[in-house]
Chain A
Amino acid sequence: MGLVEFIEGPAFWFALAVFVAGALWRFVGIIRIGHKPDLAPPKGSAGWGWIRGNLRHFFPRGLFAERTWMHVLGGYAFHLGLFAVMFFAAPHVDFIRERLIGVGWPALPRWGFIIAAEIAFAGLIVLWVRRFSDPVMRLISDWDDHVGSWLTFLVMLTGCLALERAHVSLRALHMGLVELWLIYFPFSRLMHAFTFMLSRGATGASYGRKGMTL
């Protein structure tokens, strides 16, 4: 088995297993810490609050967005672009259909992919630049933030470099980085892709109980 076959075969399955098991373990672990039942008579529904909290925090509040619009824009650009690229790039859809679950969905046309990737890159770079040039960000950032950003950037970059789909080695490079990313994911702050639900939900539920419609 050559290096390329290894990267695209067993290594990928291993990385995927680490990702799924690790992320599940951590997610469930947080929930399992649990909390005591709330005895104060509620004014509203905690369940609805949970959902509302999750939805509400998808959108910034105008008052604050005025001050940090560049950051807000960068954040949206990166996340939306990455989402589109990750799940709707034609090679990804093919990969998911052929290697993972057997069903696919319509993929982005090439120009759509390019636009999504451009937007994602622009956003990621803006976020990263802010991280090292803003005094607040420099104070609160740790190595995990930087490793996560760089790893994601490299995954995206190698993916785009392999866009010609003419060289197996470029694809393998991309795959190799994806595997690193998958393994790193459950142990890092990248987990926010799942834990955001829990934190938003917790706040939303407590607000919901108090009958607040934020």
Chain B
Amino acid sequence: MLRQWMAGLTFALSVMLSAAFSVAPMVAPAQEANAPGSEAEAPATAPATDKPRPGTLEDILRRQQGLKLDPERLLRRPAPPAPIPLPPQLGTLGRQSDADLWRALKSGAYARPSSDTASGKLMQTAGEEWRRLRREVILKYAPWLPAGVLGLLVLFYLIRGRIRIRGGRSGRTIPRFSMSHRIAHWFLASVFILMAISGLMILIGRPVLLPLLGHEVHSVLLSAALQGHNLFGPVFILALLIAIVRFMRGNFFQWADVKWILRGGGMLGVHAPAHHYNFGEKTWYWIVVFVGLGMAATGLLLEFPWLVETLLYHQLATILHALGAVVMIAVALGHIYIGSIGMEGALDSMLKGEVDENWAREHHDLWYEQVTGKKAVHGGGGDDTPPPAAAAEQT
């Protein structure tokens, strides 16, 4: 498994390197960077001539039969063969074994370029590497992140239950989110849900939905999901930008956040202080900002492929887009949980724009003090008394 991650890393690295090179086209052949990279990191197991990697008859037959290929073997990276001189001219019957020649080329063999502009490497295999990374690493492991978070949340709910407002609701409310905040939030939220559902269908439709629904239904669903995802993408970017601007104020990290972390966000039984937003919320905000913008950038590249000509960028974009998506979805699940069933009184802030005073005092004491001018006393005896039901991360 480590090897597979290594392979992924190698791929990403090589893409970045080649991207860097392709910026300056005058620099010698871009793909050449591929080889030294692989050479440095891939374990050299067998000489190329000894056992050519993919595409043996055996491999092809296994693939046709729908049998699993041995990833270990496929990912094994032989050291690139030394440049082999291409035969000056291939005769009609050939002069040597053509099969061996092609195999060697596919394994990344170099040839002496015939002109200054040509690349020494004659066959591009990044596509194959990208396909394997996507199929065998991303698809295999990434969906487990949101699924795992979902499991943890269920577990948390069963153990901890709903976080209630200590002392119940006071009946007095404090305004927390203005109308424009709420519109910005729900605008982003509703588009996010559409994007997440259609995106997951595209990502794991083949392994998950296809066996369940069969080819016919699956193809219809995926066509719909793709169109929907592409269509709502730009709307998502609009919603994202509005939300980023609208929620920026108050979301910069402050000293209280360090204390909040040290006190484990209130999970350790000690009260954790928070301003308008606590550390968890701020982290979520910055995840939305950075991962969200990353999703926007990679998404635009996927939707408008003609924006950039380098294939490697597109390959990298699909990988990053998928990784960003599972991260966003996983964290969003936590956010949705704690904002709705996980914590009493939290949903009020986004639905009505107002929160109960007791809720504010418990979860956002510094903000509460600032808004009301009253002192927030915790657990009746000041900060030292550990409240029994401390605030969890209110993301």
Contact = CB atoms under 8 A, between A and B. Distances in A.
Check whether chain A touches chain B (CB < 8 angstroms).
yes
Interface of A: 70, 114, 117-118, 121-122, 125-126, 128-130, 132-135, 157, 160-164, 166-167, 169-170
Interface in B208-262: 219-220, 223-228, 231-232, 234-235, 238-239
B223 A70 contact: no
B191 interface: yes
Contacts of B190: 125, 128-129
Contacts of A157: 228
Contact of A170 (B220, B235, B352): B220
A129 B235 CA distance: 15
A168 B227 CA distance: 15
Interface residues of B, number: 26
B183 interface: yes
A52 B234 CA distance: 37
B289 to A, nearest CB: 20
Chain B facing A: main interface SS: helix
A133 B351 CA distance: 5
B180 interface: yes
Given A117-B231, A157-B228, A129 B238 contact: no
Contact of B186 (A117, A118, A129): A129
B182 interface: yes
A135 B353 CA distance: 9
Interface string B88-125: 00000000000000000000000000000000000000
A163 B182 contact: no
B283 to A, nearest CB: 25
B9 interface: no
A40 to B, nearest CB: 42
B180 A161 contact: no
B350 interface: yes
Contact of B234 (A118, A130, A160, A170): A118
A126 B187 contact: yes
Contact of A169 (B179, B220, B235): B220
B355 to A, nearest CB: 14
Interface of B: 179-180, 182-183, 186-187, 190-191, 219-220, 223-228, 231-232, 234-235, 238-239, 350-353
Contacts of A117: 231
A126 B183 contact: yes
Contacts of A163: 227, 231
A142 B219 CA distance: 38
B18 to A, nearest CB: 31
B231 A166 contact: no
Contacts of B238: 118, 122
Closest 4 CB pairs of A and B: A161-B224, A129-B186, A163-B227, A133-B182
B352 A135 contact: yes
A174 to B, nearest CB: 10
Contacts of A70: 179-180, 183
A114 B183 CA distance: 23
B131 to A, nearest CB: 23
Contacts of B224: 161-162, 167, 170
A157 B228 CA distance: 7
Given A70-B180, A170-B223, A170-B224, A122 B353 contact: no
Contacts of B231: 114, 117-118, 121, 160, 163
B232 A121 contact: yes
A125 B235 CA distance: 10
Contacts of B220: 167, 169-170
A37 B226 CA distance: 59
B223 A130 contact: no
22 contacts: A121-B231, A122-B238, A125-B190, A125-B191, A125-B235, A125-B239, A126-B183, A132-B351, A133-B179, A133-B183, A133-B352, A134-B182, A135-B353, A157-B228, A160-B228, A160-B231, A161-B225, A163-B227, A164-B226, A166-B223, A167-B219, A169-B220
Contacts of B191: 125
B239 A161 contact: no
A130 B183 contact: yes
Of the candidates A118, A130, A133, A170, the one having the most CB atoms from chain B within 10 angstroms of its own CB is: A133
B41 to A, nearest CB: 41
A34 to B, nearest CB: 41
Given A161-B225, A167-B224, 11 more contacts: A70-B183, A114-B234, A121-B232, A125-B239, A128-B190, A133-B179, A133-B183, A133-B352, A134-B179, A160-B231, A164-B227
A122 B236 CA distance: 9
Contacts of B232: 121
Contacts of B225: 161
A129 B352 CA distance: 12
B351 A122 contact: no
Of the candidates A157, A161, A162, A166, the one having the most CB atoms from chain B within 10 angstroms of its own CB is: A161
Contacts of B350: 133
A169 B223 CA distance: 11
A155 B115 CA distance: 58
Contacts of A166: 223
